[in-house]
Amino acid sequence: MKLAAAILALTLLAAGACERRNNPVTDERREAAADPDADDRTTITAESPTKDQSPLPPGEYRLAGVDGTSVDLPHAITVSISEDTIALASQCISPRWTYAYAGQRLTTRSIPGPICERGRYPAEEAAIAVLDSPDTIRQTPANGWHLTGGGHGITLFSQ
C-alpha cells in the first residue's frame, strides 16, 4: 500500500513538472518585460532593416515600459502604427509621425497637431523622444518591441 502511494505521489510530481514547463505564462515573459536589454532578442537596427521584415509591424500597442521600468499611470499610453503613420495617445497628448525608409535608415517626421494644455509625464516625454529619432528596434522574447532613441528606451506590447 505504501509503495502504491509513493508511486502515485511521484507520478503527480512528474505531471506537475510537465504542466509548469508547458504553461504559456512564464517567469521568462515577466523577466523579458522588465529587462529590455536581454541577449536573446531579434535585433533590427533602424539603419538596416531586412527586406521582408518591417521593424514596426502595423497594429495597436500599449506602452508597457520606459527606460527599463514599468509605466505606472492612471491611464494607458497607446501607440498605433499604420503602413506609414505612428500615433501616440495619452489622454490629450496625441503626437503623430509619418515614417519611411531613406536608403536603409528608418526616418520619422512629426505631424503638426493640437497642443495639450497639461504638462507631459516622463513616460510620454521618453516615448516622444524615441519616436522622434529611433536608433534600434528589438523584438523581445515575449513578442513585444523595444525601441531606443533620443536617449531613452520604450517597450511596446500588442493589444
Domain boundaries, the chain: 26-158
Is this model's pTM higher than 0.85 or not? no
Residue 48 reports pLDDT greater than 80? no
The CATH number of 26-158 is which of 1.10.3470, 3.20.20, 2.40.128, 2.30.30?
2.40.128
Q: Is 104 helix (H, G, I), strand (E, B) or coil?
A: coil
Q: What number is the average pLDDT over the span 145-152?
A: 94
Checking if the pLDDT of 68 tops 50, the result is yes
In our burial notation (b when 16+ CB lie closer than 10 A, e otherwise), range 7-35 reads: eeeeeeeeeeeeeeeeeeeeeeeeebbee
Closest CA to 37 of 77, 69, 71, 63: 69
The answer to which of 46-50, 77-81, 143-147 has the lowest mean pLDDT is: 46-50
pLDDT tens across 77-132, in order?
Answer: 999 999 999 999 999 999 999 998 766 567 899 999 988 989 999 999 999 999 99
